[in-house]
Amino acid sequence: FDLFFVSSNNHKYQEAKKILDSFGINLGFLKSDLEEIQSNSLHDIAIVKARDAFSKFKKPIIIEDDGLFVDSLDGFPGPYSSYVFKTIGNKGIINLIKNNRKAKFLSIVTYCDKTLLESFDGKQNGTISKTQRGKGWGYDPIFIPNNFKKTFAELNNKNELSHRYKALKKFSKWYLNK
């Protein structure tokens, strides 16, 4: 492989691999827990993760930092999405929401090699469902992307419209021309 995805999360890698395959980029996987600073900025978290990943493996890598931001919860869980999923989970999120169900997924993909450090972002707006629907990982069973009726977990084209897809599409354009 010329390029590796560094993450502790195999689901993220599987999706990233499919997406980058479609752009002609062959993506390897290096499973690793990365340094994750506490910050309100996904971008800042991603930069630290990318530098940590490159210093561990000394190969061209990408990492990804994501968050689910719920409007009526002032953007919670946002940068804390991983921790919140492991603690209160999808049921906890559903229970916190009253009327306004608007939310968005954000992805930052950061590339790092010996000389370059570049970030790309992707956003998908949507709403939080009233119950969990479909089999999927993370928040997929409660996130309904705008213009659809199904959750990410129920849809079969998530990888053609997700926050991850949008960030990786920008990355691919840059990577293939760099």
Task: Spell out a b/e string for 57-84, using b for 16 or more CB atoms within 10 Å of the CB, else e.
Answer: eebbbbbbbbbbbbbebebbbbbebbeb
Nearest to 96 by CA among 85, 86, 105, 88: 88
Q: Residue 66 binds what, of Na ion, ligand ITT, none (CB under 5 to 8 Å, by partner type)?
A: ligand ITT
Give the nearer residue to Na ion in terms of CB position, either 36 or 118: 36
User: How many C-beta atoms surround the C-beta of residue 27 within 10 A?
Assistant: 19
Q: Which is nearer to ligand ITT, 69 or 175 (CB)?
A: 69
81 in helix, strand or coil?
helix
**Min CB(145)–ligand ITT separation in Å:** 11
Q: How far is the CB of 107 from Na ion (least distance, A)?
A: 13
Rounded Cα distance, 26 and 1, in Å: 7
Angstrom distance (rounded) from CA 142 to CA 37: 27
Whose Cβ is closer to Na ion: residue 82's or residue 159's?
82
Q: Which amino acid is at 107?
A: S
Which C-beta is closer to ligand ITT: that of 96 or that of 115?
A: 96
Residue 177 C-beta: closest distance to ligand ITT, Å: 26
Q: Which residues bind ligand ITT (CB under 6 A)?
A: 7-9, 12, 34, 64-66, 68, 81-82, 85, 137-140, 152, 162, 164
65 tagged catalytic: yes
From the list 65, 71, 74, 140, the catalytic residue is 65
Nearest approach, Cβ of residue 138 and ligand ITT (Å)? 2
Interface contacts to Na ion, rule CB under 5 A: 36, 82
Question: How many degrees, rounded to 5, is the angle at CA 104 between CA 70 and CA 127?
Answer: 75
Residue nearest ligand ITT (C-beta atom): 138
Which positions are catalytic? 65
